[in-house]
Structure 1
């Protein structure tokens, strides 16, 4: 039986909760380094704290994927995990900026790291079933559309999440400077708003999407009913390992692309803040060193102001690349259908790599007056110019969110989509773990804690990812016309 085509707004509703998830994720990406630095973390140790994120993804997503494949209850198949993860993520968002009040139990920096692990683990619990939900609910001919809508919503959420601290500073008037060992008001309230929005949008998807019953799902996916056997943990692990080593060829080829892409993204999220604070605002690297900070009683007002302004501007730059990604997401399906998914994917990553490297062109500290519609501010010219490379970064981000899944999804067996999507997350988590282990050491010993150079290294890695796309075989989910264009 042919799976029914969904109305556009139903495809939209299936992914709507991802807007809130990404809003929270964007707040994490743009502000966690700032929060941990304010709480006392060394510059070169930031990447080690950030390891909590990919490690949680590595552990959580395959387990959740396999569990959601076997789950059928009153809430549905994927929705129980989506909702549970959203509740846990919101809790982490409410608690993290208040780390300093738990000083009697744990050092604020350690508590902040724990909340980062909780948030990211919960984001992973929520995101993996969302990926599988699109595959479940959207028929093959709408698959690229489904993931493109998901990418669009992701980036709308990212824009909103990224600019929240800036808006709270420059529109509402909250304080963006942080006393020693505390978190700025603007960041705290942004996390409160983000957690609330996350819950609201996920509830929308849960109430507006009715998952297929097991019988309907099996008919639509041409799956013969199976007798569910109770297996021992050893057998389950053996079966999982068998699936892992026998993953589809396309997944193996995409893994190399994913490595270079996500190695770069991890560096961007961890070090953009310190990079532009040092390179454009002129704050010396010593102000990111925990030992030096312990030697001073009070952070000078000009240093605190510069770090606060640069931290807010990181949100604007992240919002910019998310906005450009959202715009590109509207057209990416048509571009891919016209020129081929591999060409689209490769050129997008190339644009991102060039964007990262071009950070080094924008060091002009001359202060200019800028009207940002929401407010008017005075910022260094170099910071304003930094919006230009965000075009390339945004194009790369849109492609990373959509193209691997569009290429991969058709090569997966329908009854194992969830677990394979979870396994595919290894190709996201592993490069981030590698990046987290080595980036801080490279920054300290090769670049003398000058963070702008680690951003340039991210650009080189992204360009290598663009080259690696050439070796990916794309014949999944392609129409005859697409295969003709791609030469398959």
Structure 2
């Protein structure tokens, strides 16, 4: 069996560089889609239904694209064709979504915006799965830690810049961040244009700078015969046979995987709520905007949103990007030490503590509502915001700690418990534990917000906190293989 050739730092960098652009676009979406859909006429309790697109696309597309890219070998490579197709489609979605009002003669802007959200999510998922596999394909085992460290760095850089971009365009460049019902703020429109450019440019860099191995070379590295693998892959199974195999794997999944699924449920249920409802929650809680200004029926009845309310909503929307950038930054820092902490205190203890920190972070939102204007120096600019907005950096530290653990700890606990010849397929099944709780959250969170909490968005963030704390408790029931 041959060993993969050692890669230079810049070769590894080139393999992962496209991740920066994909995460840039994903961060823009997470921080701004609720704001865009709200501006286009969506009411608060329907926002989570629009966001259902994201986990559904992940559930459907990632396994399909992963399986397809395993069998694809052409002159463009194995993973690169899917990465490029995903990037091009995502770019189109990012360019069109903020222009939804231009298509009003053909389709309502809100529906068009939802369609472009579906296009972006599908495209991000088409790109994400092959990108992860590309790093595994190209980087030799003894450089894998460095490869994934570089990948994590680029992901977090993309997340931070993408999250703060609308804020920068308003407070540094000077673009307007306010909008009336049925329109989108210029700062958000241009942020999506820039994000689309960065996404496509960074992916093109990876595609043209990374020459994938041929099937013969790749399988020699794995100690396998390329011709035999091709014969196996050529065997077509019926849908019934595939479903039977899948059900069999579900029945025989390791016990640790089932127990981790409970932790995953509480964790991702919470995260979905945060992404959907942070903007209206802090707009109401910290900026003091009344719930009625999130009701499109009321807004239409009074002839539009007053300028001061529009300005406050714009400022709150920009600040969400700053907060999301903050938790990504805190997650990056915590990721540096999480492995050492797990070695010292145990993976379960660190995992549980991290989720508890995130849960307490969400719960503390209810106590943060100081409206006193405060001048804040963010290095790139100075801005006056409510003191409560600044205080929100503290709970975001907890959220960042939880996010870092959610991305790493389940997989480190799970990896040692999976059979070597079925690791890939079980990892694919484990993706269901990410998508399913988000789908459940999307179906019920809006109804709970409207029917139980009377559209007071801060209360749905508190629910997210309770769920994350339950996740921390449920870690106790996970039994690691070594125990």
- 1:220, 1:341 → 2: CA distance? 32
Conservation of the 8 A alpha-carbon contact between 1:132 and 1:417? no
User: Counterpart in 1 of 2:110?
Assistant: 109
Query: What's the RMSD between the two structures over aligned residues?
Result: 2.3
- 1:212, 1:253 → 2: CA distance? 38
CA shift in 2, pair 1:243/1:14, >3 Å: farther
Conservation of the 8 A alpha-carbon contact between 1:82 and 1:202? yes
Please state how far the C-alpha of 1:413 moved relative to its aligned partner.
6.2
Identify the range of structure 1 (369-378 vs 308-317) with the bigger mean alpha-carbon deviation. Answer: 369-378
CA shift in 2, pair 1:420/1:146, >3 Å: farther
Q: Does 1:187 align with 2:188?
A: yes
Q: Does 1:469 align with 2:470?
A: no
User: Counterpart in 2 of 1:70?
Assistant: 71
Conservation of the 8 A alpha-carbon contact between 1:170 and 1:375? yes
CA shift in 2, pair 1:9/1:354, >3 Å: farther
Identify the range of structure 1 (431-440 vs 130-139) with the bigger mean alpha-carbon deviation. Answer: 130-139
- 2:19, 2:456 → 1: CA distance? 35
User: Counterpart in 2 of 1:268?
Assistant: 274
User: Counterpart in 2 of 1:383?
Assistant: 389
1:305-320 maps to which residues of 2 (within 5 A)?
305-320=311-326
Local SS of the residue matching 1:64? helix
Local SS of the residue matching 1:368? strand
User: Counterpart in 2 of 1:173?
Assistant: 174
TM-score normalised by the chain length of structure 2: 0.92
User: Counterpart in 1 of 2:338?
Assistant: 332
The match for 2:297 among 282, 291, 296 is 291
Local SS of the residue matching 1:45? helix
What are the ranges of 5 or more consecutive residues in structure 1 without an aligned counterpart? 476-486
Identify the range of structure 1 (376-385 vs 151-160) with the bigger mean alpha-carbon deviation. Answer: 151-160
User: Counterpart in 2 of 1:82?
Assistant: 83
User: Counterpart in 2 of 1:454?
Assistant: 460
Please state how far the C-alpha of 1:187 moved relative to its aligned partner.
0.5
Q: Does 1:28 align with 2:37?
A: no
User: Counterpart in 2 of 1:91?
Assistant: 92
Local SS of the residue matching 1:205? helix
Give deviations 1:100-127, integer Å, cap 9, x for gaps.
1111111100110111111111111111
Q: What is the aligned residue count?
A: 477
Conservation of the 8 A alpha-carbon contact between 1:69 and 1:77? yes
Please state how far the C-alpha of 1:19 moved relative to its aligned partner.
1.4
Please state how far the C-alpha of 1:379 moved relative to its aligned partner.
0.5
- 1:274, 1:169 → 2: CA distance? 19
- 1:160, 1:194 → 2: CA distance? 10
User: Counterpart in 2 of 1:280?
Assistant: 286
CA shift in 2, pair 1:204/1:101, >3 Å: same
Please state how far the C-alpha of 1:210 moved relative to its aligned partner.
3.5
Conservation of the 8 A alpha-carbon contact between 2:27 and 2:162? yes
Please state how far the C-alpha of 1:140 moved relative to its aligned partner.
5.1
User: Counterpart in 2 of 1:196?
Assistant: 197
What are the ranges of 5 or more consecutive residues in structure 2 without an aligned counterpart? none
The match for 2:403 among 397, 403, 422 is 397
